[in-house]
Amino acid sequence: MCSRALTIGALAEQTGCNVPTIRYYEEIGLLPPARRRPGGHRFYSEDDLRQLTFIRRCRDFGFSVEQVRTLVSLAQDPDRDCNETRDLAQAHLAEVRRKLIELRALESSLEAFVDNCTAACAGGPASQCTITQDLTGPRGSRCCG
Amino acid sequence: MCSRALTIGALAEQTGCNVPTIRYYEEIGLLPPARRRPGGHRFYSEDDLRQLTFIRRCRDFGFSVEQVRTLVSLAQDPDRDCNETRDLAQAHLAEVRRKLIELRALESSLEAFVDNCTAACAGGPASQCTITQDLTGPRGSRCCG
DNA sequence: CTTGAACCTCAAGTTACTTGAGGTCGCATC
DNA sequence: GATGCGACCTCAAGTAACTTGAGGTTCAAG
């Protein structure tokens, strides 16, 4: 036997979750109800540790809680097809790639803003700042053009 | 004079915001209270259009509503220093770069998962899927190792 | 036996909106 | 002048995924 029991604090530490987050996961049914000590404190096994590590990693990897719920049930049901898991991961990969494209565009816009402002208007009034003007749009203050 | 008045619907269309979002921005004070027709309907000017465009663009660029609030007040106060605007943009740029790094790491992990699963276990039970196993961690099901 | 950290529950707060219910306005048509 | 109907109105509640707070209990050490 090797079931060192973990407190919720120890579990939190080992998984990188916060304590209230673990209780929250239990509340929403992402984790099964924890076993309890006579006094009411939760305790956890190594299996629980593995399961929460899995969940935590999925969340780190950007899966939504609902997606994680699916992944967990997939991982626990030996009859389910592994293609489902892969499809989920693949859909998620596509989403990550879309975000990457957006973020890269955002990065160069911001970079240009900052450089431009430093070069052109450093220290002037904010209403004349090139960043503000770029964001206000090319129409400027013209009217009924 | 050139003040074509816009309905909230037209404003929404031209800025890319949803109608309830505009009302929400008014409610939280990001937009000033709109003027009203006798019947109670809101209407907007070209200036309002420019201001909401600014706000919308800031949001698209990932600034939080609170940051946008600051940017708006900077843009409207001719006495404020433009360096504040630049600093905000720069801080935001740094954050975008952090996210980019994370996302790139995430991308390659997911890519590896998917490729691995396709190559190694396509169609097998999900509990044996390489993705599931990778996410469960290197410890596998060993105990007290 | 006392102290203090860690635990407990329950409720409310957070961000940035979206959705829904139930009712009103304005404009075009008959 | 009635009628239809789409766009508008308000107010309340829902969403994701937690976090924070209040107020009280348990456990382990000294």
| Protein CA at A56 to nucleotide C1' at D27, angstroms | 28
What's the CA A101/C1' C2 distance, rounded, in angstroms? 61
Q: Directed axis angle between helix A65-76 and helix A82-120, to 10°? A: 150
Cβ A114–B89 below 8 Å, yes or no? yes
Q: What is the pLDDT of residues A29-83, one digit of tens each?
A: 999 999 999 999 999 999 999 999 999 988 988 889 999 998 888 888 777 778 8
Residue A48 lies in a domain: yes
**Residue B37 domain-assigned (yes or no):** yes
A52: which residues sit within 8 A by CB, 6+ positions away? A11, A15, A17, A22, A25, A31, A44
Number of structural domains chain A divides into: 1
Task: Mark yes or no for CB contact B135/A57 under 8 Å.
Answer: yes
Does A68 map to a domain?
Answer: no
Q: What pLDDT band is residue A140 in, cutting at 50, 70 and 90? A: very low
For residue B3, the model assigns a pLDDT of: 55
Cβ–Cβ gap A89/B117 under 8 Å: yes
Question: pLDDT tens digits for A76-132?
Answer: 877 777 888 888 888 888 888 888 888 888 888 888 888 888 888 767 777 777 877
Put simply, the chain A residues between 34 and 73 with a CB less than 8 A from any chain B CB are 46, 50, 53-54, 57-58, 61-62, 71
The range of the structural domain enclosing residue B5 comes to 1-63
What's the rounded mean pLDDT across residues A126-143?
A: 64
Helix (H, G, I), strand (E, B) or coil at A12: helix
| Pairwise CA distance, residues B98 & B104, whole Å | 10
Q: Is residue A101 part of a domain?
A: no
Q: Which residues of B touch A115 (CB under 8 A)?
A: none
Length of chain B measured in residues:
145
Would you tell me which residues 106-135 of chain B have a C-beta closer than 8 angstroms to some C-beta of chain A? 106-107, 109-111, 113-114, 117-118, 121-129, 131-132, 135
Which candidate in B47, B129, B130, B134 is best for mutational testing of the A interface (most A CBs within 10 A)? Answer: B129
Residue A102, domain member (yes or no): no
Q: What angle do CA A42, A43, A46 make, to 5 degrees?
A: 150
Q: Is residue A114 part of a domain?
A: no
Question: In the 8-state DSSP scheme, what is residue A125?
Answer: B
Q: Is A58 part of a structural domain of the chain?
A: yes
Q: What's B2's domain CATH number?
A: 1.10.1660.10
pLDDT (tens place) for every residue of chain B, 145 residues total: 445 799 999 999 999 999 999 999 999 999 999 999 999 999 999 999 999 999 998 898 888 999 999 888 888 877 777 888 888 888 888 888 888 888 888 888 888 888 888 888 867 777 777 877 777 765 433 333 2
